[in-house]
Amino acid sequence: MSTTIKLSGTGQEMPLVGYGLWKVPKDVCKDMVVQAIKSGYRLLDGASDYGNELEVGQGIKEAISQGLVKREDLFITSKLWCTHHRKEHVKLAIDKTLADLGLEYLDLYLIHFPISVKYVPIEERYPAAFFADPVAKTVVIDPVPYQETWQAMEQLVDIGLARNIGVSNLPAALLIDVLSYARIKPAVLQIEVHPYGNRAQLIQFAQSQGLAITGFSSFGDASYQSIGMVNQGADFIPLLDHPTVTSIAAEHKVASGQVLLRWAVQQNIAVVPKSLNSERISQNINIFHFVLSDEQMQSLNQLNIDLKFNDPAKFLNYPIYAN
């Protein structure tokens, strides 16, 4: 199978496996980026909210200086944060990201969440998180129409700062709305995807409209255990340890994580796993030498319980996915 997805609009090839930069600590980020590139990754999935774009840029610069890659070999993704949704703030945000990364353009720029909060100037606090007051942890919603933000994103393509633009954490109804007015259609929808929450209807619709899908949190609860965002009760089985996953892994003589990543890419869903372990970094991109059978895919799909760990209803009381 192909190891890339051709994006609508530009025809640019996006790698199916990228290195995710969420929760990569600043003190090791540069080295992890270089390690990922050495291991064969060409897509780096970052965001201003991750607070490590300066270090990501240092890693990119080091990899290029070592002759590992050229800039044009890389596919760099970042995301517009919720404090910068007003049209006059969107370019300020990408300018800061590009300056930190040491780049002239992004391959993909996503709107991180369909949540607009009170503007916090970059010079005042960066990254700003969701909070107007970081001490009181107060969230102040700024009701910016998504259309205003999207039109400002389109202008970034017009002036060459972003080659592709897309959306993230978007429910289907809002995606349908964006498609009704977009001059430049979203190239990518990035959402949480794993067998415990397979998002099948949303993915099928988005792909039918020409969007490529990137799935984050491919290992389900694994990234959320350490930050207290699982809360599923004593009988909850971590996805990596589920007998269905481990039995398939044993059959193919691969790790559980490789099974979960393969499950996604076999549906033409790009993945952006994160690891700080060099062996697992190499392991996570090594998923093209085996194929899951139809029966194995079905058994993984049957694990679906419509579970989302990264749900703003839980940590912001802002229910963007509510029924």
pLDDT tens figures, 5-61: 999 999 999 999 999 999 999 999 999 999 999 999 999 999 999 999 999 999 999
Q: Is 109 a residue whose pLDDT tops 80?
A: yes
User: Per-domain residue ranges for the chain?
Assistant: 4-308
Q: Which residues pair with 310 in a beta bridge?
A: none
> Percent of the chain at pLDDT above 90?
87
Residue-wise pLDDT tens digits, 142-163: 999 999 999 999 999 999 999 9
pLDDT in tens, 86-96: 999 999 999 99
| pLDDT exceeds cutoff 80 at 186 | yes
| 242-262 residue pLDDT tens | 999 999 999 999 999 999 999
Nearest to 271, CA basis, from 200, 307, 218: 218
Find the mean pLDDT for residues 107-117. Answer: 98
CATH topology of domain 4-308: TIM Barrel (3.20.20)
pLDDT attached to residue 137? 81
For residue 252, say whether it is annotated as part of any ligand binding site: no
Provide, rounded to the nearest whole percent, the portion of the chain with pLDDT above 70: 98
Question: pTM of the full predicted structure?
Answer: 0.96
The Cα–Cα gap between 307 and 302 comes to 13
The confidence band for 115, taking pLDDT boundaries of 50, 70 and 90, is very high
> Is 51 in contact with 122 (CB distance < 8 Å)?
no
From the candidates 41, 50, 109, 196, which is the catalytic residue? Answer: 50
Q: Is the dihedral of CA 278, 284, 285, 286 positive or negative?
A: positive
Residue 233 has pLDDT above 70, yes or no: no
| Structure token digits, residue 275 | 């690891």
Residue 313's pLDDT band, with cuts at 50, 70 and 90, is confident
Within 109-242, residue ranges assigned H as helices are 146-158, 172-181, 200-208
Per-residue pLDDT at 204 exceeds 90: yes
Kindly state the average pLDDT of the residues 285-292.
Answer: 98
Please choose, from the candidates 126, 32, 113, 121, the residue with its C-alpha nearest in 3D space to the C-alpha of residue 79: 113
50 tagged catalytic: yes
